[in-house]
Amino acid sequence: MKKRKLEIVVLSDIHLGTFGCQAIELNNYLKSISTKILILNGDIIDIWQFSKRYWPDTHTKVLQKFIKMIGKGTKVYYLTGNHDEILRRFVDFKMGDFELRNKLTLEINGKKAWFFHGDVFDITMRHSKWLAKLGAIGYDLLIIINSVINNFLNRIGQPKISLSHRIKNSVKRAIQFIDDFEYTAVTIALEKDYDYVVCGHIHQPCIKKYKKVNGEILTYLNSGDWIENLTALEYNNGEWELFHYKNSLLHNTEDNLEDEYDYESSTELNQEA
């Protein structure tokens, strides 16, 4: 399969080191693309739940893939999230085409884009971090239970289900949290006159457009996750799109893609402080 050439790719909430991480699928995706810029928008390594007893080779391969992409000319920005917040003490670290940051602003073809994980908007993170960590453990356990159920459903020829999606869609407080998160991100982005605001954190892949007072458009984007949704944001030829692994040809493609890169692109990208 020929690699798709992209200008920017945004991934978040991979949660390497947890049972829920879909590292095999992510490796297949990374092998299918070539991109000029890769933005890792938080919760890439789940340091909260890191354990020496669980770190599969497939998780190591994801990190190796990132390193290989850097070596081949991809500019990689790692933006810290709450599950990898320990890395915030090393913010502004740079090595070659790799940079570690809390947030990032880019000018893309004359438009201002603001990238950050989004946990700063989470009141639980700010005031009850222990509760957030407990919820993370519960979420990981739910994913394990869901996996067992889906294996059984697959054996009897029934479609898979997502327990966490059902819970999120049925609990009013969860729905309100997602709405509040998006509202806060959009409101601040409008005040700062950004054209794009790009987040992660809530595991809800999304692209929505809002009209500014001056008639221009603000686009809110969320890259989703690689636990349930298996999604990425892709920018190419002036347009943002959501990539859904489950709806792609990769879902049924064997892991036989070649590691070749070609970064020809006409996109104008300027980094702002």
pLDDT digits (tens, 9 = 90+) for 159-177: 776 655 655 555 445 556 6
- Report d(CA 206, CA 244) in Å as an integer: 11
Condensed to tens digits (0 to 9), the pLDDT of residues 124-158 reads 444 444 344 545 555 566 566 766 666 766 778 87
What one-letter code names the amino acid at 26?
L
228: nearest Cα among 1, 11, 10, 14: 14
- Report d(CA 20, CA 141) in Å as an integer: 9
- Report d(CA 111, CA 270) in Å as an integer: 10
Condensed to tens digits (0 to 9), the pLDDT of residues 59-76 reads 999 999 999 999 999 999
H helical segments located in the chain? 23-31, 57-71, 123-127, 129-155, 163-170, 172-191
87: nearest Cα among 58, 117, 57: 117
- Report d(CA 41, CA 125) in Å as an integer: 17
CATH architecture of the domain with range 4-272 = 4-Layer Sandwich (3.60)
- Report d(CA 146, CA 162) in Å as an integer: 7
Question: What 3-state DSSP class applies to 169?
Answer: helix
List the chain domain ranges: 4-272
Condensed to tens digits (0 to 9), the pLDDT of residues 173-218 reads 555 666 788 889 999 999 999 999 999 999 999 999 999 888 899 9
Residue corresponding to tokens 């479609």? 159
